[in-house]
Amino acid sequence: MIPSSEISSPNRADLLGLSREQLAAVLAPVVDKPFRVKQIYQALYERGARDFSDLTDLSKELRARLAERFRIGLPVMTSRHESADGTCKYLLRLHDGTTVEAVDIPDEGRHTFCISSQAGCALACTFCVTGYWGAGRNLTAGEIVAQVLAIRADRKLPAEGLNIVFMGMGEPLLNVESVQGAVEILTEFISPHRITVSTVGILPGIEEMARWVRRPNLAISLHAPDEERRSAVMPVNRTYPLADLLKALRRYPLEKGRKLTFEYILIRNFNDSLRDADQLSRLLSGLKAKINLIPVNPDPVLGERMVPPDDARVEAFKERLRQRGWIATVRRRRGDDVAAACGQLRAFGREARGFRGKGETLPG
């Protein structure tokens, strides 16, 4: 995707990921007139320019000067798998050879891009394939925005009108600075209401996000209605227990009419009974929230206990929540045939970092 000239001079500074102000500062010694900064900003993020030669509204001389000092750090698309339902999964190779996955999920003409914030994940949730393969580095703001640009270019989509969810690889709130930088750029073209940051509940990150001016939607991966079961599937619950998480969420500033989203994976015979629905309902009482139920996506690496409940049980769980007054939805599986479904992103081609036995099971 990127020209070979870019690859051969990797030391030039990447312009992707810079805010308007940062771009102005970096370009000051190079550009002749301040309005050039605006032109370059729009070329990078709105038009998705891949190369300085695409910036035809600039003089040849200025383009050459830019190319000498800077690069446009778009990833190389190393693979692309389109599912029968239109979902498309991309494997993207970054500047240093690191690979991340991103997914486009089209639905009735509207596209949702599911993007990664880290090249792996250290949190080791027992139901998640990314967690199974272990930690990877934080992505830069530019590498996050570049995923959006790469998918847009592939799908020939404009900057506006997309939905973006930080539900790919990694934990966004363990990389708050880059995620904030990326959100700042993305919200120039996309309403913050169309962007969702999904977190396991990293409390310092939630407190930071509460201070952002352009706040995206906040989704919390809950997955169990009590401390014991949540700790069993999400080790991070020992650091940030459910009780503290809910306390923090009760303080979280929501704009009028906005709601938190709680993601709740349904795992057969683990957290899928009507009693569990009641317990979940009590736990969230008083919060402005909707609940998104996700029948767990099984994967061979996860072992035999990660089985979704049957449809009737999923429906019954949802209905129970609705009877208790909640907005509850079931997330449809998408991109199954290309392993692009929730929690199945693994960045094929990475080395496994540590092996957790396949026989690992859940309590209960």
Active site residue 342: yes
- Residue 145 vs 197, nearer CB to ligand SAH: 197
Please, what is the minimum distance in Å from the beta carbon of residue 194 to ligand SAH?
17
- Residue 88 vs 224, nearer CB to ligand SAH: 224
CA dihedral 80, 81, 84, 87 (to 10 degrees): -60
**How many angstroms separate the CA atoms of 107 and 104, rounded?**
10
- Residue 178 vs 199, nearer CB to ligand SAH: 199
> 107 - beta bridge partners?
110
Please, what is the minimum distance in Å from the beta carbon of residue 218 to ligand SAH?
10
Catalytic residue among 101, 143, 171, 263: 101
50: tokens are 């891949």
**b/e sequence 130-140, b meaning 16+ C-beta within 10 Å:** bbbbbbbebbb
Please, what is the minimum distance in Å from the beta carbon of residue 135 to ligand SAH?
12
Please, what is the minimum distance in Å from the beta carbon of residue 330 to ligand SAH?
12
Query: Exposed/middle/buried for 117, CB within 10 Å: 0-12, 13-18, 19+?
Result: buried
**How many angstroms separate the CA atoms of 124 and 126, rounded?**
6
**How many angstroms separate the CA atoms of 70 and 260, rounded?**
40
Q: What is the number of H-type helices and E-type strands within the chain?
A: 12, 12
Please, what is the minimum distance in Å from the beta carbon of residue 179 to ligand SAH?
11
Please, what is the minimum distance in Å from the beta carbon of residue 217 to ligand SAH?
12
- Residue 144 vs 296, nearer CB to ligand SAH: 296
- Residue 40 vs 294, nearer CB to ligand SAH: 294
Phi-psi region at 121: left, alpha or beta (left = phi > 0; alpha = psi -120 to 50):
beta
Given the rule CB under 6 A, which residues bind ligand SAH? Answer: 127-128, 167, 171, 198-200, 221, 263, 265, 294, 296-297, 342-343
Active site residue 101: yes
Instruction: Name the residue with tokens 């392993």.
Output: 339
Among 320, 247, 330, CA closest to 292: 330
Q: What is the DSSP code (8-state) at residue 6? A: H
The residue sitting closest to ligand SAH, measured at its beta carbon, is: 343
- Residue 16 vs 169, nearer CB to ligand SAH: 169
Measuring CA to CA, how many Å separate 126 from each of 68, 280, 299, 325, 361? 47, 20, 11, 30, 9
341: tokens are 């479904």
Helix 141-155 / helix 176-186 crossing angle, nearest 10 deg: 40
Positions marked catalytic: 101, 342
